[in-house]
Amino acid sequence: MKKDEEGLLAFAEKFSLPISFYTAAELESQQGEFTTSAFVQSIVGVSNVCERSAAAASEGGSMVLPKTSQNGVTLAIAKKDWLINFSK
């Protein structure tokens, strides 16, 4: 989803950011509690895109900023959980 959205692609390129895209099935498979939208469900086939995409990109990490919208842009931020083990 969103792989053909010019504004998103231009933003990622301008700031040299990695970008990933997920299918509705990949988003639906994410575990957790997500904000739902009947409108989004009717358009893309999954009840939430931003939080599920953040969860997928962070490989199931912690949600830092749940769904938020401003000026026509909706986003969510999750951080990948990781651990350094110095005992080995």
Q: Would you list the domain boundaries of the chain?
A: 6-79
Average pLDDT of the residues in 1-9? 85
Query: Which pLDDT score, from 0 to 100, does residue 5 have?
Result: 87
- Specify the pTM: 0.85
Q: How far is CA 29 from CA 21, 32, 55, 86, in A?
A: 14, 10, 10, 33
Average pLDDT of the residues in 14-43? 94
pLDDT above 80 for 88? no
- H helix or E strand, kind and range, residue 77: strand 73-79
* 6-79 CATH pick, 3.40.710.10, 2.60.40.2470, 3.30.420.180, 3.40.50.300: 3.30.420.180
pLDDT above 90 for 11? yes
Query: Which pLDDT score, from 0 to 100, does residue 4 have?
Result: 85
Structure tokens at 21: 């895209």
